[in-house]
Amino acid sequence: MANAQEADAPNLGHAVELRHLHKWYGEFHVLKDINLTVRQGEKVVVCGPSGSGKSTMIRCINRLEEHQRGHLFVEGLELTNDLKQIEAIRKEVGMVFQHFNLFPHLSVLENLILGPTWVRKIPRKEAIETAMMYLERVKIPEQADKFPGQLSGGQQQRVAIARSLCMKPKIMLFDEPTSALDPEMIKEVLDVMIELADEGMTMVCVTHEMGFARTVGDMMVFMDQGEIVEMEAPEEFFANPKNERTQLFLSQILSH
Amino acid sequence: MTDTTNKEDWVSPPKTEVGVIGWMRKNLFSNWFNSVLTLIALYLILTTVPGIIEWALINSVWGDKSPEVCREAQGACWSFIYEKYRFILFGVYPYDEHWRPLCAMIIFLTLIFGSCIKPLWKLGWWIAVTWAVGLVMVGVLMWGGIFGLTYVNQSQWGGLPLTLFLATFGTVFAFPLGIFLALGRRSRMPAIRSLSITYIELIRGVPLISILFMASVMFPLFLPEGVSIDKLLRAQVGIILFGAAYGAEIIRAGLQAIPRGQYEAADAMGLSYWQSMGKIILPQALRITIPPMVNGFIGGFKDTSLVVIIGLFDLLMTSRVAFQDINWRPFFVEGYLFCAAIYFCFCFFMSRYSQWLEKDLAKGQNH
Amino acid sequence: MTIQTGESEGLQPAKAVFYNDPKVRAVFWQIVAVLGVVGVFWFLIHNTMANLDRQNIASGFSFLNLEAGFAIGEGMIPYTAADPYWHAIIVGLLNTIKVAVVGIVFATIIGSVVGIMRLSPNWLVARLATVYIETLRNVPLLLQLFFWYAMIVEVLPRAKEAYGPFLGVYLSNRGFNLPLPDTWSYLGLGAGILIALVTVIWLYRRNKKIHDETGEIKNTLGPGMLIFAVAMLLGWLAGGAPTTLDSPEFKGFSFKGGAEVTAEFLALWLGLTLYTASFIAEIVRSGILAVSKGQWEAAGSLGLSRTQILRFIVLPQSLRVIIPPTTSQYLNLTKNSSLAVAIGYPDIVGITNTTINQSGQAIEGIAIIMAVYLSLSLSISLFMNWYNNKIALVER
Q: How confident is the model at residue B366 (pLDDT cuts 50, 70, 90)?
A: very low
**Where is C262: in which H helix or E strand?**
strand C259-262
How many Cβ atoms from other residues are within 10 Å of residue A22's Cβ? 19
Q: How confident is the model at residue B155 (pLDDT cuts 50, 70, 90)?
A: confident
**Does the pLDDT value for residue C19 go beyond 80?**
no
DSSP designation for B74:
S
Q: Does residue C247 lie within any of the structural domains?
A: no
Spell out which residues of chain A touch residue C320, defining contact as CB-CB under 8 Å: 105
Which residues, 6+ apart, have CB-to-CB distance to B278 below 8 Å? none
Q: How confident is the model at residue C395 (pLDDT cuts 50, 70, 90)?
A: low
Distance, in Å, from the CA atom of A32 to the CA atom of C88, rounded to the nearest integer, reads 78
- Is the Cα dihedral C126, C127, C129, C133 positive or negative? positive
**B183-200 pLDDT tens trace:** 999 888 888 899 999 999
- Chains touching chain C through at least 3 C-beta pairs below 8 angstroms are A, B
Residues A108 and A163: beta-carbon distance below 8 Å: no
pLDDT (average), residues C128-150: 93
**A95–C212 CB contact, under 8 Å:** no
**B209–C134 CB contact, under 8 Å:** no
Mark out the alpha helices in chain C (DSSP H runs).
22-54, 85-118, 123-137, 141-150, 187-214, 221-238, 263-289, 293-301, 306-309, 315-336, 340-343, 348-359, 362-391
Which residues, 6+ apart, have CB-to-CB distance to A26 below 8 Å? B13, B18
- The answer to whether A71 faces chain B, any CB pair under 8 Å, is no
**B13–A227 CB contact, under 8 Å:** no
Pairing of strands A227-232, A77-78: unpaired
Q: How far is CA C95 from CA A200, C75, C83, C152, C288, in A?
A: 72, 6, 17, 20, 35
Residues B127 and B120: beta-carbon distance below 8 Å: yes
Distance, in Å, from the CA atom of B166 to the CA atom of B297, rounded to the nearest integer, reads 11
What global pTM score does this model have?
A: 0.82
Among A2, A24, A32, the residue with its CB nearest the CB of B17 is A24
Q: Does residue C348 lie within any of the structural domains?
A: yes
Distance, in Å, from the CA atom of A30 to the CA atom of B2, rounded to the nearest integer, reads 17
Among C339, C356, C378, the residue with its CB nearest the CB of B209 is C339
Q: What is the CATH number of the domain that holds C367?
A: 1.10.3720.10
**B189-233 pLDDT tens trace:** 888 899 999 999 899 999 999 999 988 888 888 887 777 788 888
pLDDT value, residue A2: 39
Spell out which residues of chain A touch residue C293, defining contact as CB-CB under 8 Å: none
For residue A84, the chain C residue with the least C-alpha distance is C305
Residues C371 and C315: beta-carbon distance below 8 Å: no
How many Cβ atoms from other residues are within 10 Å of residue B226's Cβ? 5
pLDDT (average), residues C139-156: 91
Pairing of strands C259-262, C175-178: antiparallel
pLDDT value, residue A157: 96
pLDDT value, residue A129: 95
- Measured in angstroms, the CA of A8 and the nearest CA of chain B are apart by 12
**Helices B315-322 & C141-150 angle (0-180, nearest 10):** 20
Q: How confident is the model at residue B1 (pLDDT cuts 50, 70, 90)?
A: very low
For residue C41, the chain B residue with the least C-alpha distance is B222
Among B1, B2, B18, the residue with its CB nearest the CB of A26 is B18
Pairing of strands A171-175, A93-96: parallel
Candidates A96, A21, A116; CA nearest to A66 is: A21
Which residues, 6+ apart, have CB-to-CB distance to A127 below 8 Å? A112, A113, A116, A117, A166, C215
- The CATH fold assigned to B67-93+152-361 is MetI-like fold (1.10.3720)
- The answer to whether C298 faces chain A, any CB pair under 8 Å, is yes
**C377–B204 CB contact, under 8 Å:** yes
**Does the pLDDT value for residue A1 go beyond 50?**
no
Q: How far is CA A92 from CA B46, C92, C168, C293, C387, in A?
A: 48, 64, 60, 22, 40
Residues A33 and A22: beta-carbon distance below 8 Å: yes
DSSP string, C214-235: H-----SHHHHHHHHHHHHHHH
ipTM for the predicted complex? 0.85
pLDDT value, residue B203: 93
Spell out which residues of chain C touch residue B189, defining contact as CB-CB under 8 Å: 26, 29-30
**A228–B10 CB contact, under 8 Å:** no
- The answer to whether B224 faces chain A, any CB pair under 8 Å, is no
Spell out which residues of chain A touch residue C295, defining contact as CB-CB under 8 Å: 101, 103
pLDDT: is B329 or A114 the higher one?
A114
- The answer to whether A149 faces chain C, any CB pair under 8 Å, is yes
**C138–B218 CB contact, under 8 Å:** no
Q: What does the domain layout of chain B look like in residue ranges?
A: 13-58, 67-93+152-361
- Measured in angstroms, the CA of A6 and the nearest CA of chain C are apart by 31
- Measured in angstroms, the CA of C216 and the nearest CA of chain A are apart by 6
Query: Which of A174-188, B47-61, C205-219 has the largest mean confidence?
Result: A174-188
**C311-363 pLDDT tens trace:** 899 988 888 888 888 888 998 999 999 999 999 899 999 999 988 888 888 88
3-state secondary structure of A131: helix
Average pLDDT, chain C: 84
Among C33, C146, C338, the residue with its CB nearest the CB of B210 is C338
- The answer for B245, left when phi > 0, alpha when psi is -120 to 50, beta otherwise, is alpha
DSSP designation for A73:
E
Total domains in chain C come to 1
**A104–C396 CB contact, under 8 Å:** no
One-letter identity of residue B187? S
- What does residue B31 show for φ and ψ, rounded to 5 degrees? -145, 180
Among C125, C139, C341, the residue with its CB nearest the CB of B340 is C139
Residues B195 and B181: beta-carbon distance below 8 Å: no
Q: Classify burial at B95, counting beta carbons within 10 Å of its beta carbon; exposed 0-12, middle 13-18, buried 19 or more.
A: exposed
Q: Classify burial at C332, counting beta carbons within 10 Å of its beta carbon; exposed 0-12, middle 13-18, buried 19 or more.
A: middle
Among A27, A33, A242, the residue with its CB nearest the CB of B2 is A33
**C320–A123 CB contact, under 8 Å:** no
pLDDT above 90 covers a percentage of chain C that reads 29
Q: Does residue C84 lie within any of the structural domains?
A: yes
**Does the pLDDT value for residue B329 go beyond 70?**
yes
DSSP string, B286-343: HHHHHHHHHHHHHHHHHHGGGGGGGT--BHHHHHHHHTTSGGGGGGHHHHHHHHHHHH
pLDDT: is C152 or B66 the higher one?
C152
Residues C218 and C204: beta-carbon distance below 8 Å: no
pLDDT value, residue C269: 94
pLDDT (average), residues B165-186: 91
For residue B301, the chain C residue with the least C-alpha distance is C140
pLDDT: is B367 or A133 the higher one?
A133
Distance, in Å, from the CA atom of C300 to the CA atom of A91, rounded to the nearest integer, reads 10
Q: Which domain holds residue C43?
A: 38-145+261-396
How many Cβ atoms from other residues are within 10 Å of residue A140's Cβ? 20
- Chains touching chain B through at least 3 C-beta pairs below 8 angstroms are A, C
Residues A170 and A93: beta-carbon distance below 8 Å: yes
Which residues, 6+ apart, have CB-to-CB distance to A65 below 8 Å? A23, A56, A59
pLDDT (average), residues A26-53: 91
pLDDT value, residue C181: 72
Q: How far is CA B108 from CA A119, B137, B272, C15, C139, in A?
A: 62, 10, 36, 55, 20
Residues pairing with C249 in the sheet: C256
**Does the pLDDT value for residue C155 go beyond 90?**
no
**B10–A69 CB contact, under 8 Å:** yes
For residue C123, the chain B residue with the least C-alpha distance is B27
Mark out the alpha helices in chain B (DSSP H runs).
19-27, 32-53, 67-72, 79-90, 99-116, 125-143, 159-185, 190-205, 208-213, 219-222, 231-257, 260-268, 273-276, 282-303, 315-322, 332-363
B 12-31 near A (Cβ less than 8 A): 12-14, 17-18
Mark out the alpha helices in C12-57 (DSSP H runs).
22-54
Q: Does residue C226 lie within any of the structural domains?
A: no
Choose the weakest-confidence range: A62-66, A73-77, B83-87, B182-186.
Answer: B83-87
- Is the Cα dihedral C125, C131, C137, C140 positive or negative? negative
- Is the Cα dihedral B27, B28, B31, B34 positive or negative? positive
Distance, in Å, from the CA atom of B308 to the CA atom of C148, rounded to the nearest integer, reads 17
